[in-house]
Structure formats: structure tokens, C-alpha cells
Amino acid sequence: MTSNAIEPTNRNLYALFRSGFADRLDHPFLIIPGGATLTYGDVETRAMHMAGALTMLGVATGDHVVVQIDKSSDGVALYLACLRMGVVFVTLNTAYTPDEVAFFLGDAQPTVFVCRPADAATLQPFADEAGAKLVTLGVDADGTLAEATDTAPKIVDIVDSKGTDIACMLYTSGTTGRSKGAMLTHDGLAATAKGLHEVWGWQRDDVLLHVLPIFHVHGLFVALHPAMLGGSSVLFHPKFELDATLAALPDATVMMAVPTIYNRLLQADQFTPEQCASMRVFTSGSAPLAADKHEDFARKSGHVVLNRYGMTEAGIITSSPLDGERPAGTVGFAMPGLELRVVDDTNQPMPEGEPGMVQIKGDTLFAGYWQLPEKTASEFTDDGFFITGDIGRLDAEGRLTLDGRSGDMIISGGFNVYPREVELCINEAEGVFESAVVGLPHDDLGEGVTAFVVLTSEGSANAESIEEAIGSRLARFKQPKRYVFIDELPRNAMSKVQKVALRRDNADLYST
Ligand code: MCA
């Protein structure tokens, strides 16, 4: 049985989801391990009251609400409240430091900033600076926003949105190290949700095992959205924890995760075909799944992982088929309605099997970077294709294999890390002359953030002193796992740092 979703006239994304669960308000939606089970009706009612609380805080349609909170059912209700109100939901990685949050608040200029109760005192000055009201939301329905919601009126209307209205804004960094707000529309997110619902054969009685954060595309749009569209249940884990995940597998039918999570399952004796007997599909993305791990996974679980390829700016771009071959190392075929090409420097299609730049055009694409029209324009070709920055090749059937990235972005445990941002911080540390940051093969995280550092002539910096200097400025996951001190950085004739050489000559740093 598939979703009852019909095409509502109101293009508000919430209206689309509701058409999928309207007849299932008593059906379990968020099943929290060792905790409550909330039905679709419970979460919707909470979202209506939360919309009332936000309205009383002065939030209006079109405003930005920035959120940095731990994963919780109230966090989902807050997201749905923003959708219903036509408010732009801007969610931040909980690992971001106050310095990083200060940048996002200044850039996004929210009416309200929702943070964890424990962070309120530290972040209040940054909210004040940005002119945002600060409220708090904890994981046990605690915090000032939760309290306000308990007594706020219900707002039962869903704002009539245009499909081109912005629903969410997610920050993604770039080669310059400056984060950019990717504006995602109701229609764009709806296209991704409907595409995944179709391509992954979503069943209303599916049970999604959800162990990812919901501050990124993967956990929020790729996982939660198709589940809501189907009115399906979600085993809503606060975060990935190996034993809890293994224990939940027999109750689930669908799991989505990053390769690091699957790598860890592979190491567990309890990860067996019997433990996975109820599972229908394991999807993997946000980082490449190594071919050997893909094969190990099939041997251990009896399931062939379904790889897919996505980006914050584009949602899911390609997916391996639900029924059909899923060769290791490939990421499948372009999603329905998406045009994909692999081209050379003149935007001419590459011959079959030859690597080139992946470019895409379609309904799931973002509406641009917030307040950066020139930067946005520079990432599109004259004929309207978005330049992904990823290098790939197509086989005779149109199946995509990714070969890497044209820039030097690192993907660590599924999180994107932009070397320039890290280098700028390290270079300001006492005693450092310059640095180069690269990703090196790391069995658990995929790539380990690694810094090659040249000291000033009288410099006496070391790993501890640099960590001290950058600790409050960069989220932990961005901070180098290793520091390698060298006399000089390898450079070519144009004195450009040769990161390829650093990667080649240090490939086994984490395996020795
Ligand atoms: C945690 N740590 C990390 C990472 N995660 N270090 C590097 N890279 C990471 N990804 C560090 C913490 O800072 C901490 O360091 C130590 O590891 C243990 O922290 P803990 O929270 O316990 O980490 P974990 O449980 O080991 O987390 C690993 C994880 C997590 C479960 C793989 O990183 C995760 O949930 N990743 C999913 C990311 C995601 O959702 N990506 C989707 C992006 P210390 O002890 O020193 O403080 S969306 C996307 O990419 C596109 C659009 C797409 O296609 O999906």
C-alpha cells in the first residue's frame, strides 16, 4: 500500500505531508526508544500550539527562525510549526561553537533563535547582537519555548504558500571558507520527498530506523520527509548508538545512514541476516561507501546497500534502484525529473565512462544562496545547469560513479569540512606560519581531517597549543584529528600548495 498523498492546492510543504497522514492521525509517528510514542495527531497538535507560541513571540510568515537544538520530538514539532506558518526554518549543527553560531545569527537575521537550555547564557549576547529573541528547547519538552507552547493557543491554519516560497535554509560552506545559506523552496523539498517516495517504493506500513541528526538534509529531508508523506512510523533515536541501533533492526523496515554508521555495524557480531530479517532496504549517502565495505555489508547482513548521491543545494541527485543491480562504488541513476550530465571544461558531454564535472538541472534545486546573488550565479552554467563540484562518470545505462571532488572538501563521518575554513583558524594561532588541511583515508570516518603545519622561524606551536587556539572557533568535527609539522608545504611552479602530494604521501597516516 503506498501513500494516499494527493496534490494539494496549497503548495505549503506541510499540506503535502498532511495529505499523506490525514487519515492516520492516530497512527504512531515518532517512537522514542525507552520513551513516548507520539502519533501524527499528537505531533500536529503540538506543532499548532508551537505556532501559537512563535506568533506570540512576533514571528510572522517569511521570517527566519534559527534553531540549534538536540534531536527531539519537540524539535520536529518546531520544524512543522515553521512549515505551517510559512516561516523559514534555519537549522544548525549542534557541534557549532558560539563563534560559528554568531556568524549564522548575523547572516540569517532571525526574529527568534531557539537554542538548548544549557547554551542560553553563552549565546544570549550573540542573539542580542543579531536582534533576535532567544528562547530555549530541551529534549524533555523543557525550555522557555516548550513552556510557552504548553499554554499558547493552537493555530489551526496552514499558511497558503507559493511553491517558490523558501521553506528552509541550510548553511553549507565553500572553498572560500565562508558559509552560505542555501535557500530551499516548498516545491523543491516536495519534489525530493515525492521522488524518494517513488524510487524507494515507500510503503505506508514501513518503519524507518532514524539514527541521524535532523539538522542536515539527510536526517531531516531524506529520512523524515518520505516517512511523513507515507504516514509511516519512525523509530526516532536521539543519535546513533551501536547497541540501540542493532536492537531496533528487527522492528524496522528501512534504515538510512552514512558509511561511518554502516562501518560500525559491520564490526558488530550481532549484525547478522537474522537481525536484519525485517529490513527491506538500507540506504547510504552523504559520503562514499567504499566498495569493500559495500561487499562486506552484503555478506554480513544479506542486504545490498542502496547508495544514493545528494547535496544540500539539490536534495537527492541520483539513487541506485530498489529493484535492480547496485554495483559497489556506484550511486545509481538520476532521480525522476532531474537532468544530469557529465561534462568537460566547455560543458560538452564526456564520452561514456570518462570522468567529468557533474552538472544537474531540475525541480529539487535550491533557489540560491542567501544574499549572495553573484555567488549563486557563478555556480550555474549559461544554460541553467548547477555545477556540483563533483567529478563523476556515466556508464552505458546512465549509472553514475563518483570519482571525487574538484575542490578539496573533506567528508568526515558524513559531515562536510572545508579546509580553507580550518586553515584560516590554524594560521592565526601563535607560532604558525602557514598550514594545509587535507582529508586522509580513515577507516571509521572515511576521511580524517589532517593539518600540515609550518611554524614561524621562532615559532614554538604544537598540536595542543593550536587546538587551544582554534577550540572555541571550530566545531569539533572540523578540527584536525592529526597535526603534522613540516618545514615547508609542497608547492608547484606557481607556488600553489600541492595537496595532492600531501594526500598521496600520507595516505596511510591513520592505518599505521
Ligand atoms: C563525531 N565526531 C566526529 C564526527 N562525529 N569527528 C569527525 N567527524 C565526524 N563526523 C567526534 C566528536 O567531535 C567527538 O570528538 C567524538 O567524535 C565522539 O563524538 P560522538 O558524538 O559520540 O560521535 P559519534 O557518535 O562517533 O558520531 C559519528 C557519527 C556522526 C554517528 C557518524 O558523525 C553522525 O551522525 N554523522 C552523520 C552526519 C550527517 O547526518 N550527515 C548528513 C549531511 P571528541 O570526543 O574529541 O569531542 S547532509 C549531506 O551530506 C547530503 C545532503 C546528503 O547527501 O545526505
Nearest protein Cα to ligand 1, atom 32: 413
pTM of the model: 0.94
Nearest Cα to Cα of residue 257 among 299, 303, 306: 306
Q: From the alpha carbon of 478, which atom of ligand 1 is closest? A: 7
Ligand 1 contacts CB of residue 262 (under 6 A): no
Contact 252/281 with Cβ under 8 angstroms? no
What is the number of the ligand 1 atom nearest to the C-alpha of 261? 32
Q: Which residues in the chain land under pLDDT 50? A: 1
Q: Could you tell me which CATH number the domain at 410-511 has?
A: 3.30.300.30
d(CA 101, CA 107): 10
- Angle, in degrees to the nearest 10, between helices 73-85 and 40-56: 60
Which residue minimizes the CA distance to atom 6 of ligand 1? 477
Buried b (16+ CB within 10 A) or exposed e, 458-471: ebebeeeebeebbe
* 208: phi then psi, degrees, rounded to nearest 5: -90, 125
Which residue, 462, 471, 470, 464, is CA-closest to 431? 462
CB 334 within 8 A of CB 193: no
Q: Going by CA atoms, what residue is nearest to atom 24 of ligand 1?
A: 240
96 contacts 107 by C-beta, under 8 angstroms? no
3-state secondary structure of 29: strand
User: Any residues with CB less than 8 A from the CB of 91 and at least 6 apart, and which?
Assistant: 66, 67, 68, 79, 168, 170, 214, 215, 220
- CA 98 to chain centroid, in Å, comes to 20
Ligand 1 neighbourhood includes 240 CB (under 6 angstroms): yes
Q: Which residues of 17-29 are buried (b: 16+ CB within 10 A; e: fewer)?
A: bbbbbbebbeebb
Q: Is 286 in the pocket of ligand 1 (CB under 6 A)?
A: yes
Residue 204 Cα to ligand 1 midpoint, Å, equals 30
Q: What integer pLDDT is reported at residue 1 of this predicted model?
A: 43
Could you identify the atom of ligand 1 that is nearest to the CA of residue 475?
13
**Model pLDDT, residue 141:** 87
The fold of 240-405 is Rossmann fold (3.40.50)
Best of 239, 415, 418 to mutate for ligand 1, by most ligand atoms within 8 A of CB? 415
Q: 64 near 106, Cβ under 8 Å? A: no
Fold of the domain spanning 13-197: Rossmann fold (3.40.50)
Domain ranges within the chain, ordered by starting residue: 13-197, 240-405, 410-511
Compute the distance between CA of residue 78 and CA of residue 119 in angstroms, rounded to an integer: 18
103 ligand 1 Cβ < 6 A: no
Contact 58, 105 (CB under 8 A): no
Chain mean pLDDT for the chain: 95
Q: Which of 172, 218, 386 gets mutated to test ligand 1 (max ligand atoms within 8 A of its CB)? A: 218
- CA 149 to each of CA 77, 88, 156, 267, 325: distance values in angstroms, whole numbers, following the listed order: 10, 19, 14, 43, 49
For a pocket test of ligand 1, which of 240, 338, 444 has the largest count of ligand atoms closer than 8 A to its C-beta?
A: 240
Q: What CA–CA distance (Å, rounded) separates 489 from 418?
A: 19
Residue 414 CA, ligand 1 centroid: distance in Å: 7
What atom of ligand 1 comes closest to residue 309's alpha carbon? 54
Contact 413, 477 (CB under 8 A): yes
Task: Give yes or no for residue 76 CB within 6 A of ligand 1.
Answer: no
Q: Is the CB of 415 under 6 A from ligand 1?
A: yes
What is the atom index within ligand 1 of the atom nearest the CA of 287? Answer: 50
pLDDT digits (tens, 9 = 90+) for 86-107: 999 999 999 999 999 999 999 9
Q: State the closest ligand 1 atom to the C-alpha of 448, by its place in the atom list counted from 1.
A: 7
Give the other-Cβ count within 10 Å of 383's Cβ: 8
Measured CA to CA, the distance from residue 404 to residue 442 in angstroms comes to 16
Ligand 1 close to Cβ of residue 315 (< 6 A): no
Cβ–Cβ < 8 Å for 3, 75: no
158 lines ligand 1 (CB under 6 A): no
Backbone torsion region of residue 278, taken as left when φ is above 0, otherwise alpha when ψ lies between -120 and 50, otherwise beta: alpha
Contact 299 CB / ligand 1 (< 6 Å) = no
Residue 405, Cβ density class (10 Å: 0-12 exposed, 13-18 middle, ≥19 buried): middle
**How would you write 101-117 as a 3-class SS string?**
HHHHHHHHCCCEEEECH
What are the DSSP calls for 486-502, one per residue?
Answer: -SS--B-TT--B-HHHH
| Residue 177 C-alpha from the chain's centroid | 18
Closest protein CA for atom 17 of ligand 1: 477
C-alpha cell belonging to residue 405: 571532488
Query: 13-197 and 240-405: same fold?
Result: yes
Residues 6+ apart with CB under 8 A from 296: 266
Cα angle 59-61-62, degrees, rounded to a multiple of 5:
100
**9 Cβ contact list (under 8 Å, min separation 6):** none
Cα–Cα dist 255/245, whole Å: 10
The finding on whether 376 has its CB within 6 A of some atom of ligand 1 is no
Indicate the top mutation candidate among 184, 220, 258, 468 to test ligand 1's pocket, ranked by most ligand atoms within 8 A of CB: 258
Look at the chain and count its residues.
Answer: 512
Could you tell me if the CB of 439 is within 6 A of ligand 1?
Answer: no
